[in-house]
Amino acid sequence: MNAKTQPHDLPEGACLTAKVPERNQALLGDVVVNPYRLAPLTAIIRDGGRSLSAAHVRVLGRGERGVAISYDVSERSLWTYGGIPVFGLYPDHVNQVEVSYKLDGERIRERYEIYAPAVRLPVVAKQTAALPEVEPVTVAPGFEQRLYLFNHLLADIPGGRAFKWNGLGGAAEWDSVGNNWIADSNGDVRWYLDIEQIHDSNHRDGLGGTMGFHQTRDGKLIWGQGQTYSKYDLLGRRVWQRNLPDKFADFSHEIRETPNGTYLLRVGTSDYRRPDGKRVRSIRDHIIEVSEAGDVLDFWDLNQILDPYRGELLETLGKAAIQLPDGVQKQDDRLANELAEGDLPFGDTPGVGTGRNWAHVNAIDYDADDDSIIVSARHQGVVKIGRDKQVKWILAAPQGWPAHLQDKVLKPVGEGFEWSWTQHTAWLTGYGTLTVFDNGWGRDFASTKLSGNYSRAVEYKVDEAKGTVEQVWQYGKERGDEWYSPITSVVAYRADTDTQFIYSASVNYLTPEKLTTTVLNEVRRGSQEVVVELKVHSRQPGSVGYRALVIDLDKAF
């Protein structure tokens, strides 16, 4: 393959055009675009059998406002890829890529022209296929080089949902196509995941929404999807992709790396025997810890730790939440509650009792100080649980908790305190506080409203010894309906810029005649100063944001 080869002359997955100065044409090998078939806006400049070192890459910005992407390449990466990894190509564009490296002690500089193909997406809802448009509103000096990964979901899959679980219930019907891409601060697409390589609604191991994206300490990406969980690098090279352990099933929402090199995953169980003898698939109510090799090291069964019959919030969510039959009082004896349910259906629907979506865990964090986990259960609240499976505290409205947990509910102190409602993410900041995205659906146990709502990014300080909680900061309440996200979303502290990173990811979700327009912000810690605002305009019906995150290229290569 030579420098004059054109894209249409090459097999799918390797299209390129490369141009280098005449004197350097023989130094390196081929340029391969989309080398692992999963990340079409990446490439490798093969080393041609030469020993390179100290490589640096710069993908030039497109147009006057284009953002240049620059990064150093470690020798580890040069060996792994057999050449220089190129990340951040513009789609359907002849990209100008500058590389430098040392060869035999000499610094070599070259410029390549690398064509990357247009974004290719599956046609799903309403026979359309388009990534959302990212509109920059505010980008303060010092934030121009930010890269953001967006994780959106499309629930309307023509011909999908053909695969169903059996009578045990379960979450196979909760399927969606993921739109996962990285945009720069100018809103331009610089990476996306070719979802058709890993998603297939008609096969057990291919269904499910891609969710829970995080960048690990070694710069890789982790996520889960239905019955699998995965770790890949940014070029699309698979590190591992595994089925869930046989005892467990139905991943969604969260996978987290711990400082111990283990991973925490939110799952259900494949076969759960209730006290009344019924066997069900439990729904979004277990957390497992697995090793790098995939062995299960521990698990937390929230059915045994919390109360699966606390249903106060479920009645407010605008769905047919299954409650105990009229006239039946919740009893301290769990078996009595289960017998009173009669033949109410099981499955992934809001409702009380094991085998229904009573908890809806959507986030996990790990506290290394006392070897505990912090769980965001959308239908219950935020709970800290020790390795001994004992509840340390509960951050949630006090109504409905059973007697043995009532003293674990934190007591508010200070001014301006508000509980969070149907929250997403509850993560430690690293400086003694906890951030929560307070969605606000069902606020104060009120019925669903189509206007007059608000969501918040909120920061709490918990005094575990005293059993108290203080609200120390919030953002978003004053923006009302135009920032209100009843589901999904994220807030996470960024130590590198001392900002709270926030994605209000489901604006307009409750008005289906509108497409979602979600909002990404970075706000100076402890203030209302917005240093980044991007608006993300959906161009497909049924598209909703789940989360977003900052991508750090310094760790990746």
Structural domain spans, the chain: 30-116, 133-551
The closest alpha carbon to 130, from 113, 145, 118, 143, belongs to 118
Say yes or no to pLDDT of 327 above 80: no
Lookup: tokens for 185 = 């601060």
Residue with tokens 């990446």: 42
Contact 87, 46 (CB under 8 A): no
Say yes or no to pLDDT of 1 above 80: no
Sign (positive or negative) of CA dihedral 540, 543, 547, 552: negative
Q: Which residues contact 105 (CB under 8 A, 6 or more apart)?
A: none
Q: What's the pLDDT at 23?
A: 46
Q: Which residues contact 9 (CB under 8 A, 6 or more apart)?
A: none
| 3-class state of residue 23 by DSSP | helix
Residue with tokens 């100080």: 369
| 3-class state of residue 141 by DSSP | coil
Residue type, 131: L
Which neighbouring-strand residues pair with 280? 272
b or e along 352-364 (b: 16 or more beta carbons within 10 Å of the residue's beta carbon)?
A: bbbbbbbbbbbbb
Based on the residue annotation, tell me whether 152 is a catalytic residue of this protein: no
Give the DSSP letter string of 55-104.
Answer: EEEEEPPSSTTPPPEEEEE-HHHHHHHTEEEEE-PPTTEEEEEEEEEEET
Q: How far out from the chain centre does Cα 525 lie?
A: 22
Q: What's the pLDDT at 11?
A: 36
Strands (E), 251-358: 255-257, 263-273, 279-290, 296-301, 347-350, 356-357
Q: Which residue has the higher pLDDT, 487 or 329?
A: 487
Q: What's the pLDDT at 322?
A: 64
Q: What is the mean pLDDT of residues 58-71?
A: 97
Say yes or no to pLDDT of 214 above 50: yes
Q: Which residue has the higher pLDDT, 440 or 312?
A: 440
Say yes or no to pLDDT of 9 above 50: no
Q: What's the pLDDT at 125?
A: 65
Question: What is the band of 157 on the pLDDT scale with cuts at 50, 70, 90?
Answer: low
pTM of the model: 0.93
Q: What's the pLDDT at 328?
A: 74
434-484 pLDDT, tens digit per residue, is 999 999 999 999 988 889 999 999 999 999 999 999 999 999 999 999 999
CA angle 284, 278, 286 (to 5 degrees): 20
d(CA 135, CA 141): 17
Lookup: tokens for 388 = 């001994």
Q: What's the pLDDT at 12?
A: 38
Cα distance between the two ends of the chain: 26
Q: What's the pLDDT at 347?
A: 80
Catalytic residue among 152, 404, 424, 537: 424
Question: What is the band of 176 on the pLDDT scale with cuts at 50, 70, 90?
Answer: confident
Q: Which residues contact 336 (CB under 8 A, 6 or more apart)?
A: none
Residue with tokens 């307070």: 438
Q: What is the mean pLDDT of residues 404-419?
A: 97
Count CB-CB contacts under 10 A for residue 515: 17
Q: How far out from the chain centre does Cα 173 lie?
A: 20
Alpha helix stretches (DSSP H) within 108-264? none
CA angle 156, 161, 164 (to 5 degrees): 150
Q: Which of 42-46, 144-148, 158-162, 483-487 has the lowest mean pLDDT?
A: 158-162
d(CA 432, CA 414): 17
Fold of 30-116: Immunoglobulin-like (2.60.40)
The closest alpha carbon to 215, from 497, 549, 501, 492, belongs to 549
Q: What's the pLDDT at 172?
A: 61
Element (H, E) at 110: strand 106-116
What does the longest C-alpha to C-alpha distance in the chain come to?
A: 87
Q: Which residue has the higher pLDDT, 337 or 90?
A: 90
Exposed / middle / buried, residue 254 (Cβ in 10 Å: 0-12, 13-18, 19+)? buried
Q: Which of these CATH numbers, 2.120.10.30, 3.40.30.10, 3.30.365.10, 3.40.250.10, describes 133-551?
A: 2.120.10.30
Q: How far out from the chain centre does Cα 57 lie?
A: 28
Q: What's the pLDDT at 424?
A: 97
CA angle 383, 385, 387 (to 5 degrees): 165
Percentage of the chain beyond pLDDT 70 is: 90
Taking the CA atoms of residue 132, residue 138, residue 143 and residue 144 in that order, the dihedral angle to the nearest 10 degrees is: 70
| CA atoms in the 13 A half-sphere facing the CB of 413 | 10
Could you give phi then psi for residue 507, rounded to 5 degrees?
A: -60, 135
Give the DSSP letter string of 516-531.
Answer: -EEEEEEEETTS--EE
Q: What's the pLDDT at 227?
A: 93
Q: How far out from the chain centre does Cα 408 lie?
A: 29
Q: What's the chain's average pLDDT?
A: 90
Q: Which residues contact 435 (CB under 8 A, 6 or more apart)?
A: 425, 426, 427, 429, 457, 458, 459, 460, 491, 492, 493, 500
